[in-house]
Structure 1
Amino acid sequence: MAEEKEEVKTFEELGICEPLAEACDRLGWKNPTKIQVEAIPHALEGKDLIGLAQTGSGKTGTFALPILQALIEASQKHVQAFFACVLSPTRELAIQIGEQFEALGSSIGVKCGVLVGGVDMVQQTIILGKRPHIIVATPGRLVDHLTNTKGFSLRTLKYLVLDEADRLLNEDFEKSLDDILNVIPRDRKTYLFSATMTKKVQKLQRACLRNPVKIEAASKYSTVDTLKQQYRFVPAKHKECYLVYILTEMSGSTSMVFTRTCDATSFLALLLRNLGFRAIPINGHMNQSKRLGALNKFKAGECNILICTDVASRGLDIPSVDMVINYDIPTNSKDYIHRVGRTARAGRSGVAISLPNQYEIEWYLQIEKLIGKKLPEFPAQEEEVLLLLEQVSEAKRIAATKLKESGGSKKRRHGEDEEDDIQKYLGGKDKKSKKSKRRD
C-alpha cells in the first residue's frame, strides 16, 4: 500500500474533480502532501476523519477539497446553504481558512462566511443573510449568532470540522463547543484535525465521530526534517542582547519572535525599532483590525520581524518565514511544536532558535524530552554578543520611556493605546478605532 501511495502525483489521482484540481494548480499546490494523500480518499468515501499531522503539512486542503467536492455534487440537486462549518481557535486562522475555501471554490461560486470576535455582529448578520455555503468561525462568536441572529441555524449542516482540535478543547472553548454540538445535526460528517493528540481530543473523538479513520502523518509530537533547531542558554539580563545579535546575524531573514506576554511584544517591537529593525507586534489584546493590519504588513514584507504571543502560533500560513525565535520558552512544551511550525512549511527549510534563561531551563528540557532529541547549541561568542550591550541598553531605556509616557501598560484598555504608540513611533497612522467587545 505504501508504494501505491508514493506513486500518487496529482490531485486527480486522489479522486478530486477537475475544477478543484485546477484550483489547486492555480494556488501552486502541484502535488498532494502526505496527509492529503492518506486522508482525502477516505473523506471522499464519506468517512469521518481524525487527522494528526505536523503544522504546515496541508491540513486545510485536506478537509476543504472533499467538502467542496461534496458541495458540487449536492448543488446539482439544489442550493446548499450552511453546508459545512469549520471551527477554529483563533480569529486569524479562521480568516485564513475562509480565504482558502474561497480561493479553492472561486470557479464554482462558493460563498464563505467568517464569524469571529472583534468584528461588528450586524455586518456578520448581513453575511449570514446571503446564506453562505461554508461557515468558518471561532466557537464563541458562532454561539452568539446561533443565540441572537434571527433565522440563522445550522440544521442543514452536512460537515463539521474542528481544526486545531487540541486547542478547541481548552476550558476557554469547552462550553461553546458543547452548545454547538447540541444544536447541529447528528447525521453529518465530522473531521477532527490536530498537530497533537491529547486525552481531551480522544474524548471528543468518542463523543462526536462515528467509526473514524485515523490518519497519522506524523509521529506523536514531531517537527519536520527540514527544520534546523538550536538553543542558546542565556542569562536573563542579557537576553535582549542575544536576540539583537541573532537578528543581526540573520539580517534579511523573515522572523517570528515569540514572547510570553502581550506587553513584551510591544516593548520588544519598540526596542528593535530603536535599533533600526523593521519589527511589528501582534497579540491578543489588540483589536481585530490592528491584529490583521500587523499580520498583513508582515506578509507583505513591510516588516520582516513579527513579535508575537501564542495567538500567532497556530495554523497561520505565512510561507516566507525563515526563522522562529523562542525569546520566552513556552510553559507548555506542546506549544513549541506549534511555534516552530511557522517555519519550514510544505517542504521548505527553516531555523528555530530557543533562548532559555536560568529560570526557564526546566521548560526547555521538557521540550527536548517531548521531541525526543537533544538540540545543538547556537554558536555565539559571548564577548561578541556583549559588544551590543551599550546600544541595546539605550534602546531599552527609550522603549520603556515611550511606553511610560503614554500612560503605562496597566492603565491601557485592551492594549490598543499601546499599539497606537508604536504606530505613532513608526510614523504610522494615528487613527483611533472603535473599541469593540472581544469574544473569540
Structure 2
Amino acid sequence: MAVLTKKASGKKKAKAKKKKVATPVASTEEEVVPTPEATATIANAKAEEATTFEALGVCEELCRAVKLMKWASPTRIQQEAIPWALQGRDIIGLAETGSGKTGAFALPIVQRLLDDPQRFYAVCLAPTRELCVQIGEQFEAIGSTIKLQTATVVGGLAMVDQAMALAKRPHVVVATPGRLVDHLENTKGFHLKTIKYLVMDEADRLLSMDFDEALDKILEVVPRERNTFLFSATMTSKVSKLQRASLRKPVKVEVSSKSDTAAGLVQNFLLVPFKFKQTYFAALVAHFIHYSVMVFTDTCLGAQRLSIFLRHMGMKSICLHGNMSQAQRLGALTGFKAKEHRILVCTDVASRGLDVPSVDLVINYDVPKNSKDYIHRVGRTARAGRTGRAVSMVTQYDVELFQRVEHFLGKKLEDLG
C-alpha cells in the first residue's frame, strides 16, 4: 500500500504576506472583538498581492504539484487562508465563485498530512455529487507527487464499490452528507474517530435545514479535537448555524462581500412576455451562437423540456438534473466539458462549485427564488479572472423576484433589450 513520504527540505518557510485583515469570529452571539493576532496583521495589509506559494509557507513537494496543475500564483483567498490554516486555526472562508477556494483548504490539509502521515486524516463534505467528484479530483491532483489516496463517496453509485474504496483506508474522504452517514451506519470497520480535519464546502448550503439530520450524525462521531474549515461564496449570517459546526476561535477570511460577483462578469436582464418566453429564449441562444452556454431552470421537468426544445431547434444541448441517474449526470457534465454539447440545461444541482472553464454565457431561464442562488448560478462563468456574461429572463410574473436579486446585489442590472 502506498505510503505518504516527504523529502527532507532545508528551506525555511517564509512568512506569508497579507493583503486584507483576517478577523477571528466569536463563537457566541457576543460582539466580535479582533484578537491581538488579527490586529497585528494590519501592518501587513498593504502587502503586494502577487506572491508565491513558497512565500505562503507551502512546502517544496506541493509547490511542484501546483506547478504541474499550472497554478501560476495564489489567488486572494489562498493568500489569506493558507497561512492561518498552516498555523492550525479554524477558518470561515468567504470568496466569490471561481476564486480557488478548493486549493485554499486542500493545500494546507495535504501539507499537515505530510508532517503527520495518517489514514482517514480529513473529511470534506459538499452538497452535490458533482462537486464532490470535482473536489476529489483536486485532492488527487495536488497529492499526485506524494501518493495521496482519496475516496469519493456519493449517492447514486454502488455502495459496495465505495465500501471497498473505504476499506483501503484513504487519507482523504470526500462525500455528500447522506451517503457518508449510510456508510457510517452500514459499512463494517469504517469510522471517523481519527480525523484531524472537517471541511464543509458550500457551507451555507450544508448548514441549511436540508442536511440537518445527516450533519448532526456526522458531528456526533467526529473528534472534538479537530480543525474545521467552512468555505462558500455566500455565508449564513446566523451565529446559531455556525455554532453547529463546533468551530474553535475561527478566523474569518473574507476577500469579497457576501453579494459579490466576479469582476469580469457582465450582467443583464431581458424583459419578455410569459406567453412568448420560449421564442425569446430561442432568439437569445441563436444570437450567442458561438458561446458555450449554461441555462438554469427551477424544475427537473423544465430542464428536460427546454433541452428537447433546443434539440428540435437544431442546437446541441444536454440536460442535467436531480431525476437523472448519477452515471447520466456525470456523463452530461463530461460531455459539456468536452464541448460535445454547446448548451447545458440544468437545475440548481449544477449551480454550486462546478468548474467548467469554457462557459461563456449563463442564462437564468427562471429567475431564482433565493437571491443567493443567483450568485452561485452566474458564478459558473467569468471564473479565475476570465470574462463572461449572465442574462436573466424576466416575465411579468418575475418582477418582484428579480427586484429582490437586484436588492441583494446592491445595484441595478442593465436591460439587454
Q: Same fold (TM over 0.5)?
A: yes
- Partner residue of 1:71 out of 84, 93, 113: 113
**How far is the alpha carbon of 1:199 from its aligned partner?**
3.5
User: Aligned pair 1:197/2:235, yes or no?
Assistant: yes
Q: Who is 2:372 aligned against?
A: 334
Q: Who is 1:20 aligned against?
A: 62
After superposition, the C-alpha distances for 1:174-197 in whole angstroms (9 at most, x for unaligned) are 010000000000000100111112
Q: Who is 1:127 aligned against?
A: 165
Letter in 1 for 2:173: I
Q: Who is 2:251 aligned against?
A: 213
User: Aligned pair 1:50/2:88, yes or no?
Assistant: no
User: Aligned pair 1:239/2:277, yes or no?
Assistant: yes
Report if aligned partners of 1:17, 1:69 keep a CA contact under 8 Å in 2. Answer: yes
Report if aligned partners of 1:165, 1:201 keep a CA contact under 8 Å in 2. Answer: no
Question: In structure 2, what is the Cα distance between the partners aligned to 1:74 and 1:225?
Answer: 39
Q: What are the equivalent positions in structure 2 for 1:402-417 lying under 5 Å apart?
A: none
Question: In structure 2, what is the Cα distance between the partners aligned to 1:345 and 1:312?
Answer: 15
Question: In structure 1, what is the Cα distance between the partners aligned to 2:185 and 2:259?
Answer: 38
**How far is the alpha carbon of 1:372 from its aligned partner?**
0.4
Q: What are the equivalent positions in structure 2 for 1:32-431 lying under 5 Å apart?
A: 32-75=74-117, 80-200=118-238, 203-205=241-243, 207-379=245-417
Report if aligned partners of 1:166, 1:201 keep a CA contact under 8 Å in 2. Answer: no
Report if aligned partners of 1:8, 1:37 keep a CA contact under 8 Å in 2. Answer: no
Letter in 2 for 1:126: M
After superposition, the C-alpha distances for 1:95-152 in whole angstroms (9 at most, x for unaligned) are 1000000011011000000111001111111001111000000001000011111111
SS at match of 2:152: strand
Question: In structure 2, what is the Cα distance between the partners aligned to 1:201 and 1:333?
Answer: 20
Letter in 1 for 2:291: S
Once the two structures are overlaid, the 10-residue window that deviates more, 370-379 or 2-11, is 2-11
Q: Who is 2:14 aligned against?
A: none
**How far is the alpha carbon of 1:203 from its aligned partner?**
2.6
Question: In structure 2, what is the Cα distance between the partners aligned to 1:100 and 1:301?
Answer: 21
Question: In structure 1, what is the Cα distance between the partners aligned to 2:113 and 2:128?
Answer: 25
Report if aligned partners of 1:325, 1:352 keep a CA contact under 8 Å in 2. Answer: yes
Once the two structures are overlaid, the 10-residue window that deviates more, 199-208 or 215-224, is 199-208
After superposition, the C-alpha distances for 1:71-106 in whole angstroms (9 at most, x for unaligned) are 11112xxxx111000000000000100000001101
Report if aligned partners of 1:166, 1:200 keep a CA contact under 8 Å in 2. Answer: no
**How far is the alpha carbon of 1:225 from its aligned partner?**
1.4
Report if aligned partners of 2:49, 2:76 keep a CA contact under 8 Å in 1. Answer: no
SS at match of 2:145: helix
Q: Which ranges of structure 1 fall in alignment gaps of 5 or more residues? A: 380-440
SS at match of 1:355: strand
Report if aligned partners of 2:194, 2:223 keep a CA contact under 8 Å in 1. Answer: yes
Question: In structure 1, what is the Cα distance between the partners aligned to 2:322 and 2:346?
Answer: 9
**How far is the alpha carbon of 1:62 from its aligned partner?**
0.3
Report if aligned partners of 2:207, 2:241 keep a CA contact under 8 Å in 1. Answer: no
Question: In structure 2, what is the Cα distance between the partners aligned to 1:106 and 1:247?
Answer: 40
Question: In structure 1, what is the Cα distance between the partners aligned to 2:196 and 2:373?
Answer: 32
Letter in 1 for 2:373: D
Instruction: Give TM-score scaled by structure 2 length.
Output: 0.88
SS at match of 2:267: strand
Question: In structure 1, what is the Cα distance between the partners aligned to 2:194 and 2:174?
Answer: 15
Instruction: Give TM-score scaled by structure 1 length.
Output: 0.84
SS at match of 1:145: helix
SS at match of 1:345: coil
SS at match of 1:229: strand
**How far is the alpha carbon of 1:5 from its aligned partner?**
3.7
Q: Who is 1:406 aligned against?
A: none
Letter in 1 for 2:382: A
**How far is the alpha carbon of 1:32 from its aligned partner?**
0.6
Q: Number of paired residues? A: 375
Letter in 2 for 1:21: C
Question: In structure 1, what is the Cα distance between the partners aligned to 2:318 and 2:177?
Answer: 28
Report if aligned partners of 1:169, 1:201 keep a CA contact under 8 Å in 2. Answer: no
Question: In structure 1, what is the Cα distance between the partners aligned to 2:317 and 2:48?
Answer: 42
Letter in 2 for 1:31: S
Question: In structure 1, what is the Cα distance between the partners aligned to 2:47 and 2:92?
Answer: 19
